[in-house]
Structure 1
């Protein structure tokens, strides 16, 4: 089978601006900003308990300082400028992990799963053309968030080990033509590529698992790459804004961290759902949905 549907690709490539406008119209029709606000709110409630669970579990096999440093580095991608504040709270909790009981663990598991549950509901709205045909069993929806938490823990373990190896490489140097060449720049580039690749894979996995029904990995990858590119642009803009123009600390005072994290999560959730909308619109083109294909191709046919 071809990796992508040739006719659908031809339609999208032939009318890229119209396809983007179609995605924006579909996103607005699905109340995408409202859905993103709900996802961002529950993500704010989930992020700290989720990090606490991951750190407490992995601290038995990885040095806690190295683990927290790696999490802080990549958490900066999600909440620019505020990762250290979140990691500080997680580190404080880690110092008292001996006091963690089963009730607290269950409570953190519940709050950690909230964002995934709301995200699944938001995906159902965007992929309504699938949900109308096939329903997901309620037990699968209940177990899915916890399976994702487990996968995130395994991913954090792998990323920490690889990042530690790359940092060791960065401390080395190569002697060539009588000159010592430091590998620090190479290590930094590899760390960035590791984070970027992990971001694409994480988003693509969300698009494959969260919506009802089966989604090919090619379509999921389209959404993952789209959301990653948009988030990388937004992330650099946020870093520049908060470091130069923003006066949020003057306006909100002690609430600055919560406000900035919420704002970053709102933008991230919006781009995440927009990536899902891109997949949904592309699926409609692949399946030959009349209204979508007509809107994309009608102007050219009229010109003929």
Structure 2
């Protein structure tokens, strides 16, 4: 497409409208609220995930071993594995009423960030309608299940990729080592694709209005691209500019 004055004007109007909507919706305030509630929710979310994993495996040692091997917790904080094992011991036993109440409390406190996401999405879409308490709570827990499911999927894909790379497993008669560029490209797209799916589901389910899947996936793609750019810029900042000594 050749550059022309009308094309430039259209893009200028689009960017100007985008910035006006960005300011009118208080996007920076919403981002700050999401960051705050994410920090408040990350610990209960982590404990809840470990608890569910412990229940699935049925053994706290297996759960801690899996978490520490994938997340390398033992290398970061060796004493953390002991504390996690103690938490899983009390939760997996399931013999006390306190254990069940503890899980319910974790599930409730972990929803803070997801409630904020629901509020932010409805404000941005300017729905003007509020859901009832039970319907809203259902949407929030759906967000949590989607986030947990996609996180689990990313772990599974990472493990599968590592197994294929280490054992030289062929896929459809093709050894990934024979096509390193294409294989590395596919692997690098796993997480962005999952992020796009997560954002698309948020844009589809979050607003209290009917949103077409086409629109939701377009927004999910744009959000995933911005997320990946921000993630890489933050990683570069930590590697090159963040000097704490």
TM-score (norm 2): 0.75
Q: Which residue of 2 aligns with 1:26?
A: 21
Describe how 1:162-241 pairs up with structure 2 within 5 A: 162-173=157-168, 182=177, 185=180, 188-241=184-237
Describe how 1:1-304 pairs up with structure 2 within 5 A: 15-61=10-56, 64=63, 65-67=65-67, 70=70, 72=71, 91=81, 93-96=83-86, 97-100=88-91, 101-128=99-126, 130-131=127-128, 134-173=129-168, 182=177, 185=180, 188-247=184-243, 249-250=244-245
Distance 2:209 2:68 in 1: 37
Note the C-alpha offset of 1:203.
1.0
Q: Which residue of 1 aligns with 2:96?
A: none
Aligned residue pair count: 220
User: Residue by residue, what CA displacement relative to the aligned partner does 1:100-129 show, whole Å, maximum 9, x if unpaired?
Assistant: 32232122112210011112112222122x
CA gap of 1:174–1:116, structure 2 versus 1, over 3 A, is: closer
Distance 2:232 2:186 in 1: 19
Q: State whether residues 168 and 176 of structure 2, in contact with CA within 8 Å, keep that contact through their aligned partners in structure 1.
A: yes
Distance 1:161 1:124 in 2: 32
Q: State whether residues 45 and 106 of structure 2, in contact with CA within 8 Å, keep that contact through their aligned partners in structure 1.
A: yes
Q: State whether residues 37 and 112 of structure 2, in contact with CA within 8 Å, keep that contact through their aligned partners in structure 1.
A: yes
TM-score (norm 1): 0.62
Note the C-alpha offset of 1:162.
2.9
CA gap of 1:174–1:113, structure 2 versus 1, over 3 A, is: closer
CA gap of 1:88–1:184, structure 2 versus 1, over 3 A, is: farther
Ranges in structure 1 where 5+ consecutive residues have no aligned partner = 1-10, 74-83, 251-304
Distance 1:23 1:202 in 2: 23
Answer 1 or 2: higher relative contact order, Cα 8 Å, separation at least 6.
1
Distance 2:108 2:142 in 1: 13
